[in-house]
Amino acid sequence: MSEQVVLNFDCFTLNVDSRRFFVEGKSVYLNNKEFCLLEYFLNNVGRILTRTQILEDVWDRNIFCSTNTVDVHVSNLRRKIKKFSDLKFVRTIHCVGYILESSY
């Protein structure tokens, strides 16, 4: 039996294998793109990520998307997580992108 790939950050637990996300132990539904975006952030904690980097690494390169697409998905993630925790986790870096860091 192989170990599950689980990413933890503050009160978040993301089980990559079962594709489940928990905030303070409560299950939070994420659609596929939200899940992939959160996994990307969790694999890049503390790094400033530009919107372009995020688009190139999370979205299919054959599909045209604007950087606003990233903003919309980050907003959706924040909204879903806010239902379970007041923790702020993704900080916007004005005119650049985002960074995942402990509550700011």
User: pTM here?
Assistant: 0.90
The model's pLDDT over 58-99, given as tens digits with 9 standing for 90+, comes to: 997 767 788 889 999 999 999 999 999 888 889 999 999 999
16: left (phi over 0), alpha (psi -120 to 50) or beta: alpha
pLDDT given at position 2: 63
pLDDT band at 4 (very low <50, low <70, confident <90, very high): confident
Question: 97-100 and 12-15: which strand pairing?
Answer: unpaired
pLDDT band at 103 (very low <50, low <70, confident <90, very high): low
**CATH (residue range 6-100):** 1.10.10.10
- Mean pLDDT of all residues in 44-56: 95
